[in-house]
Chain A
Amino acid sequence: MKTKVILSIVVFLFFGLILAGCSAMGKGREEKLQIRIAEQYGLAYAPLQIIKEKKLIEKNLPDIQVTWRQLGNTAAIREAMLADELDVGFMAIPPFLIGWDKGMEWKIACGLSSSPVALVVNKESIKSIQDFTQEDRIALPQPGSVQHILLSLACEKIWGDPTRLDNLLVTLDHPDGMNALLARREVSAHFTTPPYLFKELENPGMRQILDGKEALGEEFTFIVGVTTAKLYQDQPEVYDAFLRALEEAVDFMENNPTETIKILAAAYQIEQEEVLKYLEHPDMAYSLEVKGVMKFADFMQKNDYIKRKPANIEEVIWDENDK
Chain B
Amino acid sequence: MKMTNKTSSYQKIKTRLFWVIVILVLWEIVAQSGIFPAAIFPSLLVIARALENSIVSGEILLQTAFSLALILQGFLISLLAAILVSSLAAGNKMFNGLVDTLAAIAHPLPGIALLPLIIVWFGTGTTSILVIIVHSVIWPMILNIMTGFKAISPIYKEAGLNFGLNRFQIIKDILIPASLPYVLSGIRIGWARAWRALISAEMIFGAVGLKGGLGWYIFKQRVFMDTPGMFAGIFVIVLIGIIVEDYVFAAFEERTVKKWGMI
Q: Is B223 a contact of A166 with CB atoms below 8 Å?
A: no
Cβ-defined partner of B205 (8 Å) among A15, A74, A170:
A170
In A153-186, the 8 Å CB interface with B consists of 166-172, 176, 179-180, 183, 185-186
Q: Is A301 an interface residue (CB 8 A)?
A: no
Q: Is B120 a contact of A183 with CB atoms below 8 Å?
A: yes
Chain A residues near B262 (CB-CB < 8 A): none
Q: Is B39 an interface residue (CB 8 A)?
A: yes
Q: Is A22 an interface residue (CB 8 A)?
A: yes
Q: Is B104 an interface residue (CB 8 A)?
A: no
A74 to B124 Cα, complex, angstroms = 22
A305 to B224 Cα, complex, angstroms = 8
Chain A residues near B116 (CB-CB < 8 A): 176, 179
Chain A residues near B33 (CB-CB < 8 A): 19
A73 to B220 Cα, complex, angstroms = 13
In B114-136, the 8 Å CB interface with A consists of 116, 119-120, 123-125
Q: Is A75 a contact of B120 with CB atoms below 8 Å?
A: no
A187: min CB distance to chain B, Å: 7
Q: Is B206 a contact of A172 with CB atoms below 8 Å?
A: yes
Binary contact readout A234-253 vs B (1 if CB under 8 angstroms, 0 otherwise): 00000000000000000000
In B176-226, the 8 Å CB interface with A consists of 205-210, 212, 216, 219-220, 222-226
Residue on B nearest A74 in the bound complex, by CB? B223
Q: How many residues of chain A have a CB within 8 Å of chain B?
A: 43
Chain A residues near B22 (CB-CB < 8 A): 8, 11-12
Q: Is A99 an interface residue (CB 8 A)?
A: yes
A166 to B120 Cα, complex, angstroms = 23
Q: Is A186 a contact of B209 with CB atoms below 8 Å?
A: no
Residue on A nearest B26 in the bound complex, by CB? A15
Q: Is B30 an interface residue (CB 8 A)?
A: yes
Cβ-defined partner of A103 (8 Å) among B39, B119, B205:
B39
Cβ-defined partner of A170 (8 Å) among B18, B35, B124, B219:
B124
Q: Is B37 an interface residue (CB 8 A)?
A: yes
Q: Is B40 an interface residue (CB 8 A)?
A: yes
CB-CB under 8 A for A170 and B30, given A98-B225, A143-B223:
no
Chain A residues near B39 (CB-CB < 8 A): 82, 102-104
Q: Is A212 an interface residue (CB 8 A)?
A: no
Binary contact readout B37-76 vs A (1 if CB under 8 angstroms, 0 otherwise): 1011000000000000000000000000000000000000
Chain B residues near A82 (CB-CB < 8 A): 37, 39-40
A8 to B23 Cα, complex, angstroms = 9
A187 to B222 Cα, complex, angstroms = 24
Q: Is A83 an interface residue (CB 8 A)?
A: yes
Q: Is B18 a contact of A102 with CB atoms below 8 Å?
A: no
Q: Is B119 a contact of A176 with CB atoms below 8 Å?
A: yes
In B79-101, the 8 Å CB interface with A consists of none
Q: Is B124 a contact of A142 with CB atoms below 8 Å?
A: no
- Contacts A19-B35, A82-B39, A104-B39 known; list 14 others, CB within 8 Å: A11-B22, A75-B222, A75-B225, A78-B225, A95-B223, A98-B223, A104-B225, A143-B220, A143-B224, A145-B223, A167-B210, A169-B207, A186-B123, A186-B124
A interface with B by C-beta (< 8 Å): 4, 8, 11-12, 15, 19, 22-23, 73-75, 78-79, 82-83, 95, 98-99, 101-104, 137, 139, 142-145, 166-172, 176, 179-180, 183, 185-187, 305
